Structure 1
Amino acid sequence: MKELLTAVREGRKEDVPALLAPLDRAKRRLALAELKALRKEARSWGWRERDKIQKALLIAGAGCHSGAAGCATWIGGRELRDWTRSPYPLVLEALADRDPAWLGDLAHRLAARPTASRIDYRFVSELAKLAQCPVPATEGFVLGWAETISTAQWQHRSRRPLIDILRTDPHLTVLVPRLFETTELPPQVIWYGDPDSHSADHWPTALATLVEEGLLERSVLVDSCVTRLLRGGKPGDLRFFLDVLRRLALTEREEAERVADWIGMAAEGISTVAGHAQEVLARLDERGKLTTRALADVSGSVLFRTEKKLVRAQLVLLGKALRRDASTAEELLPVVTEAFGHEDIGIQERALKLVARYAPAPGDPLREELALSAGALGLAHRTVAAEVFGDLLVARPQTEPYMELLPPAPAPRRLEPAPETLAELVEEVVALVRSGSREVTAFERALDGLVRHAHTDRSALAEAFREALAGQWWLDDDMLSGVERRLTREAGIELVVAVLLGRVSVRAVHDGRTVRTGTATCVHAAFDEVLRARLWEAAYSVLIGRSPFLLATPTWHTGSVDPAELVERLRTYQRFGIEPGAADFAQALLRVRRSGQREAAAAAALLGTVQGNRLAAWLKADEPDAPVFRRHQETEQAPSRSWLQRSTAGARRVLLAAEERPVIQQEFPRPFHWLGSPHLPDRRHCYHGGEQPESWFATLPEDGETVATWLLPVITACATEELRGAARPLPGLVELGGPAAEAIHLALAYGLGARHPEDRLSAVDALLVLAAQGRLDAALLGRELAALVGRDRVKPNRLAESARTAAATGAYRTVLSVLAAVLPALLAYEKAPHGLSVLLSVAAECTERCGGVGAGPIAGLSTLAARGGSSQSVRHAVRLQAAWEQGAGATAVDIVP
């Protein structure tokens, strides 16, 4: 047994099976106890030491277990699975003396573990082979099998086609049906193989071929594909199952047996799945296998979808059914009217023509029902609708005035006082340490609480945290220098606690407070540097226990500090004879509300202290932290009037730059100096992407314009470089204090034209909040958007999606006021930009809903509307022009009973 343990400690894994063989059950039980102790001990080692013994420890522990359950748990242990080459052949050798039933039990237990992988598949299949039992067809085992099959083609000198590997696989008939039941397919199955150039390596093609050869049962694969397409899932998975289904080429009988399934796919499936189901239903309708009731059911769902191609195809299908049998009009025409509410006026026109062609004679109740549905049509089609339905359509004045729907403006929430009891403080700090959160309210309350409790009873505070944070790496690691380096980089509240518990040297605390060079290269790093300076200073306060509280603790959830409250805090410091921390006071100045605070300024001056005088001067100045000015990057070449003839090289990046703020450079600590330095827009040295710790905004909560200016280079990337998540800061940005001027509106403009839907949604949220606050300058935002579209920084179709999303919340007048300022610039191009028609459509819908914004005509709109033709841009221009002139909000269409 001693030789075995020595071999494990030395990492001699090849020797372990031979050393296990002569040990009886009792000795193996004793050895297992030693191995468990060694495994626990190794958790505190460095990764190199752990890696040395991992495989030997795994083999020895597996061989010493007498029960299959314990053996499976040991083999599946997370810390024993970090290897580059599998030691499972040696594990099988160590288990050679076990009976087949035991090996089969182990195989099924390992396959059932949620962490089962491709490596486990090889081991489990060998166990099942030795046990002469069926393979365990669990999800993990099936995924491991599929991954192994996909990679096996490249494990030989001469590459083997996928179809050949599958033909010879002994588990084919058992595992292929289970592959269709897994939660998600492995990426190798979805991505591997080109169906055109290498069909032998393409999974759907290979499976269909095996069905033709009789190696797989056709009905099983057909049912499995249909079931998965109905269930839904990731688009990549669904494309795989759809591809398999198409290659199986269902017969007419097989298609007719699944009418309900095709209806479900057409109604709820992703576009590609719905399109396929629609094609099948069209074929069934031509063969007379689709009842009128079934056609009406599926049409009601499809016409409600947003995909224009699907809706148009369904209207064509309905038209064919009506031409074939006009008696179906009573059941089908009410369904056709569902398209009257579609956003595309071309689809509305198709539906209206279809209704007009097959509408029953006057006096029929169905005709009145159809006329009622026609009330959903816009002004562009009401003339035609009136010709169709005659006196059934009557215009009446709108009795209720339009009401704009906006979210409630965010109200500032007062921060709760710091935790009073030690138990409450420990609970909150431990939660922050374990989560790594920098949420402003929790973080600031906890930081202030640490300083307060250290001032009253530092020893009790340290004892409470030593017990509550047992197991944290920075408490267990013996290398204090490594702890100091890592805590300094991470800049979390655990730095303060580590200083309290003696895990950071006094010299490191001194250096952290004084040797700060201010080397930030971007705004995100600058905010982090400010936070680190505050944390080191708070750590020093906790270490000496002198400060009664922190000056910079926010009054409100945004991070802002009430000036009268800050004056009172300074008065308390003065009474105790305590000198405020430089970083703490500097942060308090940046957070204090400055607008209209003459009384607070006078009270601060009466303190007669240096800090009181600085606060008074700061409040009286009431200047932005960094004055901004407009700056264009790249070239200054003006864009061509023709949308298609513009030069990409001539496009400009519209950004803002920040001027120097001398007072910050001269009076604030060095870590704050970046905030007072002049800055040109530059992302070359910023690597933060879409990150947004809430503590960043709390650094300058009263100057949203300055923060927006500094964040613009990153926010711009969501539209120009398609960076995902770059617009996430926008909702928080518009909640900051100070004026909402050019910087915030320019950042919002870039966000509305972002590449990714989640970024556009963030921008829409910010737009609605800004409007609810009464701070939205629609004309300014419209001009910024027009400039960005003109410089090809924002694509009109993306802007249209954002505008449609915002309008759908009920903010029609807000959206229209912005679009009214954007459209003249786009209408001025000789060649209409792509996406203009969608913007005109959204503007027309908003005008019909709210009746306009009380402004003059939109320049260029009448010219486009008078151009004639059937293009979408012209048709939507006609619709918008009619709504703008007539005031759609003043009239409505009703049914005469």
Structure 2
Amino acid sequence: MSSLMDAVRAGRTAEAVSLLDGMTDAERRACFPELRALRKELRADQWTAQARRAYPALHAAGTACQTGAAGVANWLAASDMRWWPASPGVLIDLLGDRAPGWLGDVVHRLAERPVSSRVPYELMAGLVRLSGCPVPTTEAYVHGWVEHIGHVWQRGDTVLDRLRKDPHLGRLAAALFETNDIGGRLAWTATEGPDSWTEALARLTVEGVLDRKATVDACLARLLRGGPAADHRVFLRMLKAFALTREEEREHLADWLALASDAASVVAAHAQSVLASLALDGELTARQLAELSGAVLFRTEKKLVRAQLVLLGKVIARDASTADELLPAVAQAFGHEDSDVQERALKLVERHVRKAGTAAVREELVAAAGQLIPFLRARAAQSLGASAVAAEPVTYEEVLPPAPEPARLAPAPDSVTELAEEIGALLATDGDVAAFERTLDGLVRHAYGDRDMLLEALEPVVAGRWWDQRDPQYRFSVDDHFTGNHGLFNAAHGLELLLATVRGKLLTTTLHKALRRWTVTTDCGHSPLARAFEARIWEVAYRIRTEPLPFLLSTPTWGTGLLEPDELVARLDQYRRLGARVSDADFAQALLRVRRGDRTVAEAAAGRAAALGTPEGARLSEWLASGAPAVPAFRRRTTEDRILVESAEVAELQGDFPSGFRPLGRPVSVYRDRWRCYHWSDGMRQHWLALLPEQRELVAVRMLRDFCAAAVHDTRGDAAVLPLLAESGGEAGEAVHLSVAYGLGARHPEDRLAAVDALLVLAARGQLDAGRIGADLGQLVRLGAVKPSRLVESMRTAVATGANATIWGMLRHTVPVLLADLSTESVAGPARGLADLLAVAAECAERTGAREEIPHLARTADRRGSSRLVTQARRLRSALAEEVAA
């Protein structure tokens, strides 16, 4: 036994196998407890050189020294053995003397493991050969089989050759079509030739090696079932490789109809082409084609819808007797959400309406025409021979989502146990403003009141943190980590700083130095925001070490960061009674957060603050009585491809404020603030907004470059904070509106959705200047900062919520800016997506009943031709000029 353990520890696999071959079953079982103990020992640090050396021998020995099938399977597939396993050949040799039934049990247990277990296919296949059991058809086995067959470059043959030789081909090929997420693995091989799975299987069905009918049926069934895009592509390519005969296509008519109606776009297009060929050859009845059209014409893919309309037109042109059956099917497209589809359908009906043999069909077409947009409805009435109906007055009521109500912060956690749990959650997720602020306040309170209990409760939270090393040699690296040039990365990093302070991991001199220089990070546009956030954190840390605070004055009342005046007065009164010294940064942050916009509340609280008789009470009284928060002067700067904003100095943020907070009120310059930025944490932006909850313009002007980057440089996640910006307080002016405008043109859908949310919040709060943001969007599109196609998606998302009047109020200012360019000879053509933008504008005008003249619209609508741009311009002009019935 000792010889075996020595060989295993030394990683001498061949010697271990030789020793095992000479043992009886009883001797092997006796070795297993020591092998299990060694595994536990290695698992404590499995990345050492010793562990890497020992694992292959341990894997082999542990497999040989067990007799239960379940135990062996668990050992073979163990996650800690996965990185340095014994070779499949060694394992198969060790298990070769076991009973076939036992081996079959092991291999099926291994095959039932998830694909992520990465059980070697060679091991499972070898055990199948030894046992003679039925080949497994689980996901893990089929994935392994596909990968094994596909590695033809290692053996010099082809996929087709290897499949021909496989004794289990029929069973595994059938399982291939039932296995999830297999398309990605199949796609790794060639797409054409004998090295491709698609052509190899198709060739085998021709040769009769595989049952052709069963294989084709399985492929169609897989496409009907759906799945990931990779599966669609591979199995569709396989279906095409089968090159079905016309007879085989007719046999699967029901499958083609189902695929054209419900399958993924690329699969539906193929099914539609097959059905079109059958229809044009007379293989489909008019009723079958009409039923198919009813499903296809309401798909969102315009390409499929247009192709179906073209097919219907060809069939009617070839056989006029089908008109009575097919024209009502065409008329179903009158209700399609896209106006271009409606117009195409109307043109098709107009072309063939004379072929309709009964009055009932004409009446059905006239009734269906009521679904058309107003611009087409009048035309349909004339072409279908119906009397024109005067438009009824539009009764429209704007539907906006309710403005979010601010959430009041819950009190700080009462117990240290609850506080420790919330700290753990924040360290894992970074949390929102409310969670961070109440946890921060709780940490300060418990550090002041019951420090020993706090330290005990924090043990499991900080135990895994690298900075909690007990060795003194780590002390200076901890200090360097928190005082580095990049500052605090995010709110969780600031919380870690406080935890390290509570645990005594930072030097008092380090805290004092950081406090004096306010940990200036980088001199970019964000620096004043980051500096103010960090100033309070560092001062709290210093006070925890030297003179703990009883609680924080600046903890907000609401989740936006706003602090009620009466609450701040009460806290200052409690400080007075406790004889506690106020923290400068904490008090400065409280002043910036206290509500001053409601003058009645602020002035009443000013008197109570003055009555405290403390310097802080007098300062608060003066601050509340000074009026609403100041708004600086702003100036727009237009460069080659963007619009930015500069702001003047805010005098009230200078003076008595600590040096860490004064930069918040200093001027913002487009050309000066260009230093490289290290503030890459998206989660920090919400905390920056909470610094100045009644002066969001000051925050927005410093984050404008981020929102601009989401549109111009295609960054992801920069616009996520826009809804919080809209929910914040203070004036929504130049910077806020421009920020939302950039977000509406962001590259990524989630950023555009956030911008739409912000837009609707501003509208619901009555703070949206539609003319301002609409004009900004027009200029941004002209400059190339915002792509019209992205803007269209944002506008359609907002319209889908019911905000038609809001969007029209914006687009009525955007459209003229873009149409004006069309009147200049220097412009080669309209901006891509302008026609779609006009379509959204026309839709909003039709729904809201807007009646007005739009500059440059008539000139565009009077252009020759029937391009989509001209058609949508005419539609918009018609909607705006339509006269209603008296």
Query: TM-score normalised to the size of structure 1?
Result: 0.85
- Structure 1's 670 and 73: CA in aligned 2 closer, same or farther, altered over 3 A? farther
Q: Secondary structure at the match of 2:389?
A: strand
1:342 maps to what in 2? 336
Flag the 1:277–1:523 CA change in 2: closer, same or farther, 3 A.
farther
Match of 1:631 in 2: 637
CA distance in structure 1 between the partners assigned to 2:505 and 2:524 by the alignment: 31
Aligned position for 1:763 = 755
Partner of 1:227: 221
Corresponding residue number in structure 2 for 1:450: 443
Match of 2:521 in 1: 519
Question: Contact between 1:691 and 1:725, CA under 8 Å: does it hold in 2?
Answer: no
- Distance (Å, rounded) in 1 between the aligned partners of 2:118 and 2:243: 32
Structure 1, 226-235 or 584-593: larger mean CA deviation: 584-593
* Distance (whole Å) between structure 2 residues aligned to residue 665 and residue 30 of structure 1: 80
CA distance in 1, matches of 2:336, 2:98: 69
CA deviation profile, 1:396-441 (whole Å, cap 9, x unmatched): 533x7310111101111211222334554454444444x4341232
The range that moved more, 285-294 or 269-278, is 285-294
Find the residue that maps to 2:120 and give its secondary structure: helix
CA distance in 2, matches of 1:828, 1:201: 57
Q: Identify if the C-alpha distance between structure 1 residues 627 and 215 changes in structure 2 by more than 3 Å, giving closer, same or farther.
A: farther
Q: How does 1:308-319 map to 2 (within 5 A)?
A: 308-319=302-313
Residue 365 of structure 1 deviates from its aligned partner by: 4.6
Aligned equivalent of 1:127: 127
- Name the structure 2 match of 1:101: 101
Query: 5 Å matches for 1:678-717?
Result: 678=668, 680=670, 682=674, 684-686=676-678, 688=680, 694-717=686-709
Q: Which amino acid aligns with 2:571?
A: R
How far does the alpha carbon of each residue in 1:345-393 deviate from its partner, in whole angstroms, 9 at most, with x for none? 4432332244343379899454444323212222322332222444554
Question: How far off is 1:244 after superposition?
Answer: 1.1
State the Cα distance separating 1:496 from its structure 2 match: 4.6
Give deviations 1:565-616, integer Å, cap 9, x for gaps. Answer: 2232222222212223444334434433343434445544554545445545
Partner Cα separation in structure 2 for residue 132 and residue 385 of structure 1: 73
- Report Cα offsets for 1:769-801 as digits up to 9, x if no partner: 221111111111112111111111222222222
Structure 1 residues 369-378 or 621-630, which shifts more? 621-630
1:826 counterpart = 2:818? yes
User: What is aligned with 2:179?
Assistant: 182
**Matches of 1:540 and 1:437 in 2, distance apart?**
22
Which residue of structure 1 aligns with residue 641 of structure 2?
652
Q: What amino acid maps onto 1:871 in structure 2? A: S
What is the aligned partner in structure 2 of residue 254 from structure 1? 248
What is the aligned partner in structure 1 of residue 201 from structure 2? 207
Asked if 1:440 corresponds to 2:442, the answer is no
CA deviation after TM superposition for structure 1 residue 186, in Å: 5.5
* CA deviation map 1:195-236 (0-9, x unaligned): 4xxx44443233333433444332233223212222222223
Query: Secondary structure of 1:734's partner?
Result: helix
Displacement of 1:847 in angstroms is: 0.8
SS in 2 for 1:793: coil
Contact 2:324 2:357 in 1 (8 A): no
Aligned partner of 1:846: which letter? C
Task: Write the distance in 1 (CA, Å) between the matches of 2:681 and 2:548.
Answer: 40
Partner of 2:873: 877
* Aligned partners of 1:704 and 1:739 also within 8 Å: yes
Equivalent position to 1:358, from 353, 357, 379: 353
Q: Counterpart of 2:264?
A: 270
Q: 2:181·2:231 contact (CA, 8 Å) conserved in 1?
A: yes
Q: Structure 1 51/463 Cα, relative in aligned 2: closer, same or farther at 3 Å?
A: same
2:587: which partner in 1? 585
1:397 is paired with a residue whose SS is coil
Amino acid at match of 1:807: V
Shift of 1:523: 6.6
Q: Distance in 1 between matches of 2:64 and 2:545?
A: 52
Question: Partner of 2:448: helix, strand, or coil?
Answer: helix
* Per-residue CA distance 1:691-715 (angstroms, 9 max, x = gap): 6775454344333323333333332
Partner of 2:410: 416
Check 1:418–1:528 CA distance in 2 against 1; reply closer, same or farther (3 A cut). same
Taking a change above 3 Å as real, the CA distance of residues 27 and 361 of structure 1, as seen in their structure-2 partners, is: closer
Tell me how far 1:835 sits from its aligned partner.
Answer: 1.5
Do the aligned residues in 2 keep the contact of 1:683 with 1:714 (CA within 8 Å)? no
Q: CA deviation at 1:281?
A: 1.4
Within 2, Cα distance between the matches of 1:460 and 1:687? 35
**Structure 2 CA distance for aligned equivalents of residues 373 and 581 of structure 1:** 73
How far did 1:94 drift?
Answer: 5.0
Amino acid at match of 2:397: M
Alignment counterpart, residue 801 of structure 2, candidates 799, 809, 814: 809
Aligned residues: 861
- Aligned pair partner of 2:845 in 847, 857, 863: 847
TM-score by length of 2: 0.86
* 2:549 counterpart residue number: 547
Match of 1:648 in 2: none
Candidates 375, 378, 386, aligned match of 1:380: 375
Change (3 A) 1:602 1:35: farther
Deviations 1:100-158 (A, max 9, x none): 433332222222111446662233223333434344221122223323444x24446xx
2:642 partner SS: strand
Letter of the 2:288 counterpart: A
Q: C-alpha separation between the residues in 1 aligned to 2:60 and 2:685?
A: 45
Is contact 1:359-1:367 (8 Å) kept? no
Over the aligned positions, Cα root-mean-square deviation in angstroms equals 3.8
Could you tell me which residue of structure 2 aligns to residue 836 of structure 1?
A: 834
Superposed CA offset, 1:822-870 (max 9, x none): 1112112233222121111111111111011x6x521110111122321
CA contact (8 A) 1:655 1:713 kept: yes
Structure 1 residues without counterparts, runs of 5 or longer? 634-650, 893-897
Of 355, 365, 374, 1:370 maps to 365
SS of the equivalent of 2:581 reads coil
Paired residue type of 1:748: V
Measure the CA separation in 1 of the matches of 2:614 and 2:501: 31
Give, in whole Å, the separation in 1 of the partners of 2:341 and 2:392.
28
Q: Given that residues 692 and 729 in structure 1 are in contact (C-alpha distance below 8 angstroms), is that contact kept between their aligned partners in structure 2?
A: no
Partner of 1:791 in structure 2? 783
Contact 1:454 1:545 in 2 (8 A): no
Indicate yes or no: 2:562 matched with 1:570.
Answer: no
Q: What does the per-residue CA deviation read over 1:229-253, in whole Å, with 9 as the maximum and x for residues that have no partner?
A: 2222222321111111112111222
Which deviates further from its counterpart, 384-393 or 270-279?
Answer: 384-393
Task: Please give the alpha-carbon distance, in whole angstroms, between the structure 1 residues aligned to 2:212 and 2:676.
Answer: 57
Q: Residue 537 of structure 1 contacts residue 583 of structure 1 at CA under 8 Å; is this kept in 2?
A: yes
In structure 1, the residue matched to 2:452 is 459
Query: Does residue 406 in structure 1 map to residue 403 in structure 2?
Result: no
Q: 1:25 to 1:800 in 2, by over 3 A?
A: same
- Which amino acid in 2 is paired with 1:184? D
Q: Assess if the C-alpha contact under 8 Å between 1:428 and 1:446 holds in 2.
A: yes
CA contact (8 A) 2:712 2:785 kept: yes
Question: Does the aligned pair in 2 maintain the 1:451–1:541 contact within 8 Å?
Answer: no
1:404, 1:812 within 8 Å by CA — same for their partners in 2?
Answer: yes
Structure 2's unaligned 5+ residue stretches are: 483-487, 823-828
2: CA distance, partners of 1:27 / 1:762: 67
Q: Deviations over 1:506-565 (max 9, x none)?
A: 777777766763224657787677666655655666667943322232211222222332
Deviation by residue 1:251-293 (Cα, 9 ceiling, x = unmatched): 2222222222222222222322221111111122223332333
Compute the displacement of 1:344 (Å): 4.2
State the Cα distance separating 1:166 from its structure 2 match: 4.3
Alignment of 1:556 with 2:548, yes or no, is no
* Kept after mapping to 2: 8 A contact 1:35/1:61: yes
1:75 aligns with 76
Equivalence for 1:639? none
Task: Give yes or no for contact 1:564–1:600 (8 Å, CA) kept in 2.
Answer: yes
Question: Which residue does 1:640 correspond to in 2?
Answer: none
Structure 1 Cα separation of the partners of residues 400 and 329 of structure 2: 33
Post-superposition CA distance 1:617-676 (Å, at most 9, x none): 65537556987543344xxxxxxxxxxxxxxxxx42323356666876886667767756
